Every structure is written in C-alpha cells, then in structure tokens.
A and B are shown apart, each in its own frame.
Chain A
Amino acid sequence: MEFFFISMLNGVSYGLLLFMLSSGLTLIFSMMGVLNFAHASFYMIGAYIGYSLNEIAGFWLALFVAPVLTGLLGAMFERLSLRRVHPYGHVPELLVTFGLSYIVLELVQLVWGRTAVDFLPPALLQGPAFTLVQNSVQGLSMVWGAAAPDLCASTDAAVRVVCTTFPATRGFMMLVALVMMLGLWLLLKRTRVGLVIQAALTHPEAVEALGHNVPRVFMTVFGVGTGLAGLAGVIGGSTFVTEPAMAATVGSIIFVVVVVGGMGSLGGAFLASLLIGVVQTFAVAFDYSLLMMLQNFGVQVSSAMQNNSFLKLTISQVAPILPYLFLVLILIFRPKGLLGTRET
C-alpha cells in the first residue's frame, strides 16, 4: 500500500515535470507550426542560469528570474534567426533549431564545464514533505515533514516499521506545474491576449488586418514557451541533476509526450505526461518477462529458449523504453494523438 502510494506520487510528480516541459513545446508547435528541436536545450539553459543565480541571489529569485531570462533568449532566437528562416518552410526551421541544440550544448560545456554542477534546492525544500510510517501493527499513518526517530524505530522485534519519505522538492515540483497549468489555461482562454494568440494561429491575415502585430505575437509565444522550459529547468535541475547531458535525456521523451498527447493539444500533453510518468514508474516494479508468461500458460520451454535474452527481458528492464514503444504504437493506430485534432 505504502509502495503503491509512493510510486503513484513519484509517477505523477515526474509526469508533471514532463508536462512543464512539453507544454511549452506543444504551445510553440500549435501556434507557430515550429517543431522546436532545441526545446530541451532551453530547459538546460534554465537550469544552468538558475544554478548561477542561486549562487548569487538565492533560489527563490532564481526561480523567477531564470525563466524570464531563458524566455528572453528564446524570443531573441525567434526574432534573429527563426523569423528569417520561416519563409523557407518547415525543414529549414527544424534544421535551425536542431543546430541550435548543438550550439547550446557546446556553449554550456564551455561556460559551466562538462561535469555536473552542485545545484541544491533551498533549505526549505531539502527535507521530506511528509513521511509515511508503515507499522505492521498500527497500519499506515502519515506525518508532515520528517518523522521523529522513535516513530520509525521499532522497540518490539515482532513489529516491523518502515518509514518512507517523500522529498519536498518533488512536492514543490507538482505544485509549480499545477499553478503553471492553471495560469496558462486562464491566459489562453480567459484573456484578450489569449484570444489574439488563438486567432493568430488560425487566421493570421485577419488578425494582422485588425492591426495586431502577428510576428510579435509569435515572438512572444516562442519566448513564453521557452520560458516555461526554463522554469522546468530550474525545478528539474535542482531536483535531479544539472549537467550537459540533461537536455538530451529529456529531449526525446518530451517529443513522445507531444506526439502521444496530440500535436498542439495542451490537454493531450497533460494526459500523456501523466500517463508516461506513471507507467514508467510502475513498470520498474514488475519483474515479469515473456518467459514467465509462457511458463504460466503452461508452455513447455526448452533450455535454449530459457536462456534467450529477449524472452528473459523483464518489464522493469524495458521500463525506460516504454514511452518510445507508445510513440510508435500511437503513430500507427492514432496518428493525431490522444486528444489531438489534426491529422498530421
């Protein structure tokens, strides 16, 4: 029970981090039709800027300023490079962002070095958010913050007590993601700015004719999208690790999220992020393999088959590639994604 609970929270919090990342990507894609290959690079930039600001001015300032700086860099990139390439179609746009991801990687390594930097969350978030105490007699209970040591120690040998803590950084991650989602939704659906953005997406000429500066709208969208990636970077970098490889490792998975959720659909990205986070987390717990399944069905398995490395693969071993399996299956059976609207 305690295992299920903690794994669920782990899965949901990881999923929400993925959502923070992919929301920006899907926003940019749905508004501008640009598949931003460098999106994860902005995530990395956010983490590194956050780290530097954290050293100078503390975490809370970094949390607000780093995304803004990242967003400005993103807007600058849109203004100076992407906009010039835009008239030539999608492939050059893709290539430009692809090239940018390599440039960012090298720059980050030049400025901050090739090894991981010590990006610590603030003291407030370093402890556990709450502790689950599993007592074999009294059952499951929950304590906010860290549990007192005597609560976790068992005086009687017959009573087994296990304490599991849930880190505050992960709780904070969930909170920020939810606030961000709400803010984004309100902005797009309930404000004038949101209306203009949505209109510029489908009828750019009409919006332009009404006196709105469409290229500037696009630049703002790109800036906001990359800023959100920067925000995810500050949170993800301090929760996990800040290193040059961090962009590459999430880069591919957020594309999976966007495709599975449906290109350009925020709700879809949310659903797909949670789905992937939870499935990946729980898959780790299962040690079942094809071989065991065959044996359970009473199939006689030869000894050569028993040593077959493919059949011996357990679900936990393939857990990290499950998202990519999803990607392929979705593209085959439902190309528009879970909540997508267009058949691309």
Chain B
Amino acid sequence: MVQFDNKLSPAESLNALKAATDQGIRYITQGNGSSVAGALIDAINKHNERNPGKELVFLNYAAVDPDFTNSKCSYWHFRFDADTSMKMEALTTFMKDQSDVKKVYLLNQNYSHGHQVAKYAKENLSRKRPDVQIVGEDLHPLAQVRDFAPYIAKIKASGADSVITGNWGSDLALLIKAANEAGYNGKFYTYYTSVTGTPTALGKGGEGRVYQIGYAHYNMGGQTDKWAAEFKDRFKDDLYTNAVIHVFNLLGESMAKAKSTDPVKVAAAMEGAKFKSFNGEVEMRKTDHQMQQPLYLTVWQKADKKYPYSPENTGMTLAPVKTFESYVASTPTSCQMKRPG
C-alpha cells in the first residue's frame, strides 16, 4: 500500500494518480471530497479506455456526491459510503416522526455537497412532511467562516426549531459552538458530527440536540470496537471512517473469488457482491456500484456504561437512536452503466 497526499486539490490528485499508475498501482482509494473524486473518476475512465490491460479501479470510501452513482456513474468506480440522498432519506424518515419539527433551516457549505444536502432535504421533507416549513436557507463558503454568530442570529430570527446541515470540520464545530453561546436551543441534524475536531468543539454543549446520520457509530460493538481501540492506540485518533473496512473486506473477498488480482476480474467479482461487514449484511449494488447498507441515527450525549466510547476524551458519545435497514435508505439510480467488452 502506497500513500499519496492529494492536499484536497483535484489538480494535485491527478498528479498523484499519474505517479501511482507509473508505479504500477492498479487500485486507487480516496475519500475527501467529492471535488477530488469527480476529477479522479474522469481521469480513470480515460486511462482505462486508453490502456487496455492496465485498468485502474477506484474505491471511494467517502465522496458522497450522488452524481457519481447516477449521471456520472462509472464501471470502475465503487462507493462504500452512503451517498447524500441515502443519508437524507434516512434522516427525514426519522424527522417525519418528530412532532416538534415544524420549522426547518438549511445551512450548508457552498459547494456540490452542501447544494446536494439542501436539495434532497427540501425534496424529502416536502414528500414526507408537507406541513414542515423551510424558514430559511443559506450557503456559506467552505472552511472560510470563523464567526458563525451572524448565521445563528439569522436562524434565531427565522424561528427555526431544527437545522439541517451537511457541514463538516470547523464549519460544523464553530456553528454549534456559536449556537450554544447565543442560547439557540433548536436541534441540529448533521452528517458529520464525528469528524475530527467536532467532538472537541461540541464538548458538553449540544447534549441531546445534535443528531448524526451515518453508516456507523462509535459503539458498534464486536470487532469494530477492537479496531477502534487499536486505531486510537496507534494513531491517537478516533476511528470514524469505517467505510475503509468495507473496502478491504470486499477487495479481499473479491480477489479470492476471482482467484486473481487483475482489476478487470476483481471489478467483475465486486459487482453485486453481498458480504457481511461491521454494520451487517451489505451489498455492492450492481446497477450503479453504490453500497447498500444499514444507516444509524445517533445523538450526542454523555458516555455511559452502555455506550462507553468517548471521542477526543470529551466524556460524550454518539448513542444510537434508530437503525435503518438497507432498504429504507436505498434510493433509486438513473445510472446506465457502460460495461467493458
């Protein structure tokens, strides 16, 4: 396994891809973010067309733009995270039953991911809870805003009781910190509460008011807990990108099944494969290469005996509230897959 730093830049990533192929590497895995993944998919499609016999396979563990398994779907791309539309499907299924949700505010980062979250939130809510009002919508620049107090003042003025946000990293941490400081007591429905830095910024604040939707959580039990402990031991960090486990599980199984490490044969074996992973029975859907998997809704609360894992030594944890089976969160695809040969 060889590591390349893409510096979160599509251009840098393409250089890294070139370097990787020059070294004879045939499997590429990458996650953050969708801007990079989009560039990689294009480049890999072209590469595979021009270099038969030297195909590359792209194992995407975190870029969640739904386009990658719909209009831009590629035979060489496999996604192990749940895409934005699936997570929103599960999130709104939960919100549907929350009678205190009446006015919703959408605050997102101004790039493809944030746009998709806002779009699917509106679509899903109007379908499942037509009585819910969207009282405001904002897009702010990605990772630029230090002071979220003005946004919170605006959210308060709108009278929203819930905020849906796809924000991650400092954009989420600072948002919730500002909300706590301004005395805003609405709920936050998030995608990425567990991403490095956010638990620290949340601290004891936001207890019971911050939800996360994801394919895993801190207290999965069994092997995942052991991995998380080992990971923390070695890297002093919390394991939250569990989808990489999917990647290695499926890759290993498919190589064994294909009795080969040739990407063409392995890709064929991965398509439609069903296997047991840390979150139950999962399937790499053949039509669009989107992993179908259970999703979990969790809430930020004090760590206790039942849910002991405490990220970044905060004394808090994300406790599961509801589990969604694969079929609940599954969304249809418009992918017309072009298969080789």
Chain A residues with CB under 8 Å of chain B are 3, 6-7, 10-11, 14, 113-118, 120, 128, 131, 162-167, 169-170, 240-241, 243, 245-246, 249-250, 280-282, 284-285, 316-317, 319-321
Tell me the count of chain B residues lying within 8 A, CB to CB, of chain A.
Answer: 33
Distance, CA A240 to CA B182, complexed state (A)? 13
- Mark contacts of B325-336 with chain A using CB atoms, 8 A cut-off: 1 yes-contact digit, 0 otherwise: 000000000000
A-B contacts, 16 of them at CB < 8 A, read A3-B153, A3-B156, A6-B153, A6-B182, A7-B150, A115-B200, A116-B173, A128-B181, A163-B183, A165-B181, A169-B181, A241-B174, A249-B146, A317-B110, A317-B139, A320-B144
A287 to chain B, nearest CB (A): 8
Of all chain B residues, the one with the shortest Cβ separation from A277 is: B147
Q: Is B196 located at the chain interface by the 8 A CB criterion? A: yes
A257 to chain B, nearest CB (A): 14
A169 to chain B, nearest CB (A): 7
Chain B residues with CB under 8 Å of chain A are 110, 138-141, 143-147, 149-151, 153-154, 156-157, 170, 173-174, 177, 181-183, 196-197, 200-201, 203, 236-237, 312, 314
Instruction: Tell me which residues across on chain A come within 8 A of B149, comparing CB atoms.
Output: 10, 14, 170, 281
On whether the beta carbons of A10 and B201 are closer than 8 Å, the reply is: no
Distance, CA A237 to CA B184, complexed state (A)? 22
On whether the beta carbons of B153 and A320 are closer than 8 Å, the reply is: no
Q: Mostly helix, strand, loop or mixed at chain B's interface?
A: mixed
On whether the beta carbons of A10 and B200 are closer than 8 Å, the reply is: no
Instruction: Tell me which residues across on chain B come within 8 A of A165, comparing CB atoms.
Output: 181-183
Task: Name the contact of A117 in the complex, choosing from B139, B177, B200 (C-beta under 8 A).
Answer: B200
Task: Name the contact of B201 in the complex, choosing from A116, A128, A164, A250 (C-beta under 8 A).
Answer: A116
On whether the beta carbons of A164 and B183 are closer than 8 Å, the reply is: yes
A299 to chain B, nearest CB (A): 24
On whether the beta carbons of A128 and B183 are closer than 8 Å, the reply is: yes
- Identify the interface centre among B110, B139, B173, B200: most chain A CB within 10 Å of its CB: B200
Instruction: Tell me which residues across on chain B come within 8 A of A7, comparing CB atoms.
Output: 150, 153
Of all chain B residues, the one with the shortest Cβ separation from A249 is: B146
Task: Name the contact of B156 in the complex, choosing from A164, A167, A170, A240 (C-beta under 8 A).
Answer: A164
Those 3 A-B pairs whose CB atoms lie nearest each other, nearest first: A165-B183, A167-B181, A284-B150
On whether the beta carbons of B141 and A320 are closer than 8 Å, the reply is: yes
On whether the beta carbons of B146 and A116 are closer than 8 Å, the reply is: no
Instruction: Tell me which residues across on chain A come within 8 A of B314, comparing CB atoms.
Output: 118
Of all chain B residues, the one with the shortest Cβ separation from A160 is: B159
Task: Name the contact of A320 in the complex, choosing from B145, B154, B197 (C-beta under 8 A).
Answer: B145
